[in-house]
Amino acid sequence: MEAADRIAHRLKLSDLRVLREVVDRGGMAKAAQHLNLTQPAISKAVAQMERALGVKVLDRSRHGVTPTIYGRTILEGGLTAFDELRQSVVRVQYLADPKSGLLTLGCTQPLAFGFVPAVIDHMRRVCPGIRFRLVEGDQMTHLRNRRIEIAVRRLAPTMSEPDTEQEKLFDDPLVVVVGRDNPLVRRRKKLTLRDLYKGPWSIPPYECHVGPLIMEAFRAEGLEPPEAYVSTYSMDLHLGLASLGPYITLAPRSMLRINAEKLSLRLLPVRFRHQASAVGIVSLKNRSLSPQAELFIKYAREVAHSIGTNGATKMSEVGRSNVS
């Protein structure tokens, strides 16, 4: 048996779990409390791992513990092993009861207001026992840390993440939105962005992922991006302001198609030209997906088709186009 095989044989999944908890919680005492173990048991497990590997896996200081380069490497491999084992357990449970289980996925706020709820509701009708845990924030980090299985998000125009698989579901341009009682809704004159330039605008910060699309659309009309009256990442706030006052905001077209009436919103027929921006599913390459994730992708394709989109295609088919 090779040296690496002998060392791997001595390592236990329980030891990897201990190391992960120590790193995640910043100390052995907190890890012991979370795992319902004694601190000496935690110290012993870490020491055994370091003896087996012949290197230090943790740097200790008065501020806590941090993983060494060796510790980070073993954690990355252990994370994959834990994830594959968990996915195998999930598949066994699914075989016993195909309409149950838990799916953890990430999505952005705008998609959480329209497309993702529509997919979940579609799945519930067929598989009422499946439960969902939705996570916001940095979805790529969550994917790589195996905190989520898949992410529903706007995709880059080209495949920019070599460790991911991306499948386009539909193009989802930004549209100009106001409340249904806004006087602009009844205005008969054809509106342009120049007419709306002074707002008041409630829009995301320009440094966010849709910021370049917003700036591109204004510059396509010969305008510099306007100064927002309200600048926030909160979709709740944008929609609340638009529905209650004179504010103008932007929203994905899919959200308007699915539930504009519920949100008391109206789309203004204003040209908002920007690069084609697709919504799709992102997952890690070479990662086994659970049956629940595969079902979600299946129903996501169906919902994308039902709302009058371009249909599901691979990212290689995504090109540049102007959206009127």
- Among the three residues 79, 110, 125, which one is the final residue of a domain in this structure? 79
pLDDT, tens digit (0-9, with 9 covering 90-100), for 229-247: 999 999 989 999 998 889 9
CA-to-CA dists, residue 2 to 9, 141, 165, angstroms: 11, 34, 34
At residue 319, the pLDDT reads 30
Q: By the 8 A CB rule, do 221 and 192 touch? A: yes
| Residues 239, 214 within the same domain | yes
At residue 169, the pLDDT reads 93
How does residue 311 score in pLDDT terms, banded at 50, 70 and 90?
Answer: very low
| Residues 136, 215 within the same domain | no
| Residues 132, 111 within the same domain | yes
| Residues 28, 48 within the same domain | yes
pLDDT, tens digit (0-9, with 9 covering 90-100), for 281-298: 999 888 888 888 989 999
**Which residue segment(s) compose the domain that 249 sits in?**
174-267
At residue 263, the pLDDT reads 79
| Residues 178, 263 within the same domain | yes
CA-to-CA dists, residue 31 to 37, 71, 124, 217, 287, angstroms: 8, 16, 37, 50, 28
Q: Is the pLDDT of residue 41 over 90?
A: no
| The pair of three-digit structure tokens given for residue 208, joined into one six-digit string | 């966010």
Which amino acid does the sequence have at 304? A
| Residues 222, 257 within the same domain | yes
pLDDT, tens digit (0-9, with 9 covering 90-100), for 216-225: 999 999 999 9
At residue 94, the pLDDT reads 62
Q: CATH code at 156?
A: 3.40.190.10
| Residues 128, 74 within the same domain | no
At residue 23, the pLDDT reads 83
| Residues 224, 304 within the same domain | no
On whether the pTM is more than 0.75, the answer is: no
At residue 315, the pLDDT reads 34
